[in-house]
Amino acid sequence: MPTAPMLDKGPAEIVWGYGHSGAAYLGHTLGDIKVVMETLSSDINEDQAGTAAVDAVLTGSTFTIEVPLTRLSVTELARVLNTVASGCVIPIENQIGCSLYALSEDLVIKPLCGNEVSTNPCEWVHLYHTYPIAGLDLTYNLDTQRIFPVKFKVFVSQESGYEGLFGTIGMDAAATEFGI
């Protein structure tokens, strides 16, 4: 497959659980899908330089993906809320004490062009260990559409051969739609 530049503008689809039998597009979005990585550093100071740093040490990176989901099916909403629906009933639970890395799954972002999801893996973003931290924004009025703001926490891989990696921009040409 030929390489292509990253698309400059446009919406995207999110596949959560990429590479697993339950992988699926999460649904529609309303607003920006934001992929945010920040590398942090800590300054090294000396009295003789005043408040100016004389050096710095990298202290790590943080990585999140913000996705404003809308028009979710009951199954999709239950999945991002890490719960199980019973018919059309989704329990809203207080969740504490779980290892999110153990529950994390691969996430792939695929741009859309002409209302078609990109089939070119060179344009995809693949993140190895993500977990959705879901929220609700259920405003009821005539003008505001209800959204489910989901922030995916991205973890550094601890898997052999992938240690220290968040994922990749672009994927191998043999990548498939859902990775299965």
User: What's the pLDDT at 1?
Assistant: 47
Domain that holds residue 61: 12-169
For 104-158, write each residue's pLDDT tens digit.
999 999 999 888 999 999 999 999 999 999 888 888 999 988 899 999 999 999 9
Q: φ and ψ at 179, to 5 degrees? A: 75, 15
On whether residue 177 sits in a domain, the answer given is no
On whether residue 38 sits in a domain, the answer given is yes
On whether residue 97 sits in a domain, the answer given is yes
Q: How far is CA 161 from the centre of its chain?
A: 21
On whether residue 4 sits in a domain, the answer given is no
On whether residue 1 sits in a domain, the answer given is no
On whether residue 24 sits in a domain, the answer given is yes
**Long-range CB contacts (within 8 A, 24+) of 2-11:** 2/120, 2/122, 3/122, 3/170, 4/120, 4/122, 4/123, 6/123, 6/169, 7/111, 7/113, 7/118, 7/123, 10/111, 10/112, 10/113, 11/111, 11/112
User: What's the pLDDT at 54?
Assistant: 97
On whether residue 113 sits in a domain, the answer given is yes
On whether residue 180 sits in a domain, the answer given is no
Structural domain count, the chain: 1
| pTM listed for this prediction | 0.87
Q: Give the closest residue to 135 by CA, choosing from 124, 146, 123.
A: 146
